[in-house]
Structure 1
Amino acid sequence: MIFARIKWLYAIIVIFTGMTLMITTFYLFPKPYAVKFSAWFIRLLVFIPVRVKGTPDPDAQMFLLNHQSDIDIGIMETITDKDLAWVAKKELFEVPFFGLVVRLPKDIALERESKTALVKLIKECKDRLDRGRVITIFPEGTRTETGKMKPFKAGAKMVADKYALKVQPVVLIATAWHFSNKRKVFHPGAVTAIYLDAFIADKENPQWLNETHDRMQKVYDDELANHPRYR
């Protein structure tokens, strides 16, 4: 038990150090290299190799990811060379220290359950897209460690429909098994990330977001069946 807590504390120190490096080097490196450097620093020092399946679409304008762990962002940053614009809850932007991690790269703050905030979200996403960035969203809106994805919130669909974006789902497998701040556990080891086929958002299909949820869940369940250690 003590050794398990020491491993978890080591991972926390690495993550904190990586974020500090990102903040201190942000204006020294061209964008988005401070973010990428920090993500690689964390991933390498917590010994998390990533098996990538599927093919990243070079024209993708939005990534949709399932969310289980604090390491999910770092994993995604290291498996793409795209400049990602993360959509995160507004409260995170106000947290001391951590707020700089999302404010410096001009990630996008979202007020939950606010209609006016959705209008602001759409405008800010357009600004980031015009700058060549890829909008990156956890459509569940929160972490879940059960392996069953929560229903996807409508914000991602509103943005994608508005600009007819090319959307690529990405499924991360059992990242909460590797690192959970809630349960204070850390297990080094390979993580699997799966790029699904990209598609153009079709506002004439009101169910495409729900269909994407179901497709991602099936890919997750099928992949998990091949990894007994996660069960």
Structure 2
Amino acid sequence: MIFSRIKAAYFAVEFLISILLVVFFMWLFKKHIHGVRKIWGRSQRFFGFYSLEVVGNFDERANMIIMNHQSMLDIVVLEEVYPKNLCWIAKKEIADLPVIGQIIHVPQMISVERENKRSLIKLVKDAQDRVEKGRVLAIFPEGTRSHSRELLPFKGGAKIIADKLNLKIQPIVITGSDILDVKNFSFKSGKIKIICLDLIDTADPEWLENARAKMQETLDNERQKSAV
């Protein structure tokens, strides 16, 4: 317990410094922002002393990925391994943070004010712009971090964007990223696994719930494997 807290303190300091550095280098090398972020993601694995495994393949046809969300390491590991330039859809509160918010603004991520209906119109417009530029939208449909065994209900933002823009969606399940527990200020060693599922059939009106069910099934199977 003491070691995990010491490691959490060390990583918190390192992570904040790395955010400042990655913002600076993205600003300095504007034509290589994606590459800078990939190097940053790889460096966090080095400094965080965790291992990473990717199961399956990222579908090159996908222009949106949806993931479960356990910790900020979910973002870090995908930045490292995802082959295309991701565009994260984040809460406006993050974008409004002094200095740190620049990690949203400089690489042209999308921030959304969830309680503002007008923000939804801007969200769809911004999403279309990023997709037309060849970027892949990345969203946590649960809307917040969750440590329960059951996925939280999926919010409708991903479905609205996908249906409006006729996007191809790949669900991705992440396990093990809860080794970083901000609430209890703990960071344990371990393996993070990224599991790539098949594209979802968005012709089915219930595709978002179908995706949630498939992701939940995958999570349950992974827990059964680890319990053996």
Same-fold status (TM-score > 0.5): yes
Cα separation, 1, equivalents of 2:50 and 2:80: 11
Tell me the equivalent position of 1:226: 225
After superposition, the C-alpha distances for 1:184-218 in whole angstroms (9 at most, x for unaligned) are: 1111221111000013532xx32110111111011
Name the SS for the 2:9 alignment partner: helix
- Bigger Cα displacement from structure 2, 18-27 vs 129-138: 18-27
- Assess if the C-alpha contact under 8 Å between 1:84 and 1:136 holds in 2: yes
Tell me the equivalent position of 1:189: 190
Q: Counterparts in 2 of 1:4-23, with a 5 A limit? A: 4-23=4-23
Tell me the equivalent position of 2:169: 167
Cα separation, 1, equivalents of 2:84 and 2:130: 12
Tell me the equivalent position of 1:217: 216
Quickly say closer, same or farther: Cα 1:103–1:147, change in 2 above 3 A.
farther
Percent identity between the two aligned chains: 37
1:67 aligned to 63, 66, 69, which one?
A: 69
1:57 aligned to 46, 56, 59, which one?
A: 59
1:135 aligned to 137, 150, 160, which one?
A: 137
Quickly say closer, same or farther: Cα 1:3–1:199, change in 2 above 3 A.
closer
- Assess if the C-alpha contact under 8 Å between 1:165 and 1:200 holds in 2: no
Name the SS for the 1:32 alignment partner: helix
Cα separation, 2, equivalents of 1:19 and 1:119: 30
Tell me the equivalent position of 1:95: 97
Tell me the equivalent position of 2:40: 38
- Assess if the C-alpha contact under 8 Å between 1:173 and 1:220 holds in 2: yes
- TM-score for both structures, normalised by structure 1: 0.93
What letter matches 2:71 in structure 1?
S
Misfit runs of 4+, over 2 Å = 1-4, 199-202
- Assess if the C-alpha contact under 8 Å between 2:201 and 2:207 holds in 1: no
Cα separation, 2, equivalents of 1:59 and 1:28: 31
- Bigger Cα displacement from structure 2, 75-84 vs 12-21: 12-21
Tell me the equivalent position of 1:24: 24
Q: Which runs of 5+ in 1 are unaligned?
A: none
Tell me the equivalent position of 1:111: 113
RMSD: 1.5
Cα separation, 2, equivalents of 1:168 and 1:185: 31
Instruction: Name the structure where helix makes up a greater proportion of residues.
Output: 2
Cα separation, 2, equivalents of 1:4 and 1:129: 40
Cα separation, 2, equivalents of 1:73 and 1:139: 14
What letter matches 2:27 in structure 1?
Y
Cα separation, 1, equivalents of 2:28 and 2:227: 44
Quote how far apart the aligned CAs of 1:50 are.
1.1
